[in-house]
Amino acid sequence: MQIKGLPEGSRTFPLLAGTKRPAGGRGHLDASVRHVPEGNYGVALDGQFLVVDIDDPDRVPEDFHERLYNSPTWTQNTRRGVHFLFTVPEGFKGTNAQIPGLAGDLKVNGYIVGPGSEVEGHIYTVRDMSRPQPAPKWLLDL
């Protein structure tokens, strides 16, 4: 089932109301394409997506800014910044990492808060509903 605002095939799971914390079970490990979100929910990344999580858009180096902000990929506003979502190659086994010189990080394991969820009075909103693009090599190498 396609969920409005989410890339096709996204696996979701419930979060506690008003938070980023899983509502029970094993969180993103229990995520399913059959879960229809109500209230806050998470979107599992594991083996499917890579997200560049920018916490302070004003502190993004110029070269990095150009490559990210000119990528026609699924993007959402968070309570502090932006998520850029990319697909990963089948079998990709990366790890989450801090990006040197950037106020943010790279996530390939775990989850992100889904659009429409509210955390600390901020509603996560989709800013670009484009299909997530394959992660460029320069991101995979990070």
pLDDT at res. 54: 93
Nearest to 126, CA basis, from 134, 135, 137, 117:
117
Terminal alpha carbon distance of the chain:
33
DSSP class of residue 32? B
Residue-by-residue pLDDT tens, the chain, 142 positions: 456 688 888 999 999 999 999 998 888 999 998 887 789 999 999 989 999 999 988 888 888 888 888 889 999 999 999 999 999 999 998 899 988 777 789 999 999 999 999 999 999 999 999 999 999 998 888 8
**Residue carrying structure tokens 């089932």:** 1
The confidence score (pLDDT) of residue 96 equals 94
- For residue 49, the surrounding DSSP H or E stretch is strand 49-54
**Any idea what DSSP says for residue 138?**
H
